[in-house]
Structure 1
Amino acid sequence: MSLITVAYAQWPEGLTPDSPQWQQIAEQVRAAGADLLITNEMPFGPWLAEHATFDAQAAQHSVALHESALDALARLDVPAVLSSRPLLADGRLINEAFVLDATGYRFVHQKHFFPEEPGFHEQTWFTTVEQGFDVIEVGKLKLGVLLCTELMFNERARHYGRDGADLIAVPRASGTDYRYWDCAASMAAIVSGAYVISANRTGQAAQGQRFGGHGMAYSPAGQPLAVAAKADDHALLQVVRIDLEQARRQKYEYPCYLQNVD
């Protein structure tokens, strides 16, 4: 059977795993019956990069909160969860994508590209320790991860396609202008021949940065499958079914059959 059910989130700013809203989220995830859940980028607690100055105490708190939330994610009734979390390194944070499944915690990727602008002072807060963009296997699925801004770099999506990815997962924390994200997701699918599914944060951070929701799913041919409701509609989860055979066939279609030409 080549069909995989994927749920992708748009969870709110400031979420904690001991809140009533988390209980609602857990119920929705269990009801979805998904094989894989993709969360938004660093889904717990406040968005630190809204602040223009690095705060070591706030960074440590975010690390501890995400560490404690691993148990809550593992207790969701879903075979695999793909998310990201902050970890301390070299006096700053790293943003590490990971999978939780039957084998436990698995490292996937660390974010490489960081914007530096109002609301997103990520160069101030983050660094990269582990280099590389590698495809991993999660059950029958081969996937790669592009964390938020990394979606804007088509060469990385093409690389994943050349390595056989069926799906590119894109946890993100982005604003309310969707134009770049829709275009980038569609192009990432086209150049990779893989499904592209992105989950985004919602709500408003302490200093006013607004997150726009608008989770997305695109077919290996770059066609939209589904778009989650806008942030103000309070939709916390979207579900799509993907066909692994379609992703594998698309590798032999234009432009993916040119993958060996550099």
Structure 2
Amino acid sequence: MRVGFVEWPENLIADSEQWVQLADDLSKVKLDILVTNELPFGPWIASVPDFDPEAAEFSLACHRAGLEALKGLNIPAIISSRPVWEGQRLANEAFSLEGGRVKHLHTKQYFPAEPGWHESNWYATQSRDFEPAVVAGVSVGVLLCTEVMFNEHARHYRKQGAELIVVPRATGIPVHDFLTAGAMAAIVSGCYVVSPNRVGEGPNGPTFGGKGFACGPNGELIGMTSPENPLVVIDLDIASVKEHQKGYPCYVTERI
């Protein structure tokens, strides 16, 4: 099972020259699953503190066009996220794309509130879903960016039979905290953890740091993107997942 993950540029527009080059690069690599960074198309609207319905609609339009562009890739399964309306705010929905069909996977529930990442002013949800779904024959759990900081959800995914946890991100230059959180998510779940990231800077900031990464079921770093290698591919060994999930600390249960 070959899984690719990326660092895609800020303000990526479907059918732009940037997109054509990325799509051409992807056409040269055989993948079973592609995992993109969080909200990969259009500008990062949460860099501005005040919610703007017109900017929200523009983000929706960018991602609608982006979804059509993703459908044009010759990849069996793609995991990404997109904005959708929920009440008076947007929700950040992770989804899979297989055979031209979109399937809901998860809705983001943890939102930063600080310069560059005013997400709590832009996004909200009533959803409380942290349930894995089968994508290309693999049981996948999603933790959108900040959610990886909360290990209880990685443990929950393991208990529900997950084999791969994907963590699409839009994070800054420092990567240490997210590498640590991703490694811990792998250790406590016994799953592979794959975390793509945005890269570059928008007109209102912040600067996104790239460095998408993958951890093996033991928490070991097994791959990282860079400007020279914005697409990295790993091979999943599901038998290794099953073995790690039998061992420490995965088997440990809470006694109250």
TM bucket, shorter chain: over 0.9
**Which residue number corresponds to residue 246 of structure 1?**
240
Identity value in percent: 44
- Residue type at the aligned position of 1:158: R
| Correspondence 1:1-262 to 2 at 5 A | 4-102=1-99, 104-229=101-226, 233=227, 235-259=229-253
Query: TM (normalized to structure 2)?
Result: 0.97
| Superposed CA offset, 1:164-220 (max 9, x none) | 111000101000001101100000000001000000000001113100001000001
Query: TM (normalized to structure 1)?
Result: 0.95
Alpha carbons of structure 1 residues 261 and 82: separation in structure 2 relative to 1, 3 Å: farther
Preserved contact between residue 25 and residue 236 of structure 1 (Cα < 8 Å): no
Shift of 1:97: 0.2
Quote the Cα distance in structure 2 between the aligned partners of 1:74 and 1:260.
43
Shift of 1:140: 2.0
Quote the Cα distance in structure 1 between the aligned partners of 2:62 and 2:197.
19
- Structure 2: gaps spanning 5 or more residues: none
Quote the Cα distance in structure 2 between the aligned partners of 1:102 and 1:143.
17
- Report the secondary structure of 1:120's partner residue: coil
Quote the Cα distance in structure 2 between the aligned partners of 1:189 and 1:181.
12
Shift of 1:42: 0.4
Shift of 1:261: 5.0
Quote the Cα distance in structure 2 between the aligned partners of 1:52 and 1:146.
24
Moved over 3 A (4+): 259-262
| Superposed CA offset, 1:77-126 (max 9, x none) | 11000000001121111000000002611000000000000000000000
| Superposed CA offset, 1:233-254 (max 9, x none) | 2532111111111111111011
Q: More displaced, 38-47 or 251-260?
A: 251-260
Shift of 1:32: 1.6
Shift of 1:260: 6.4
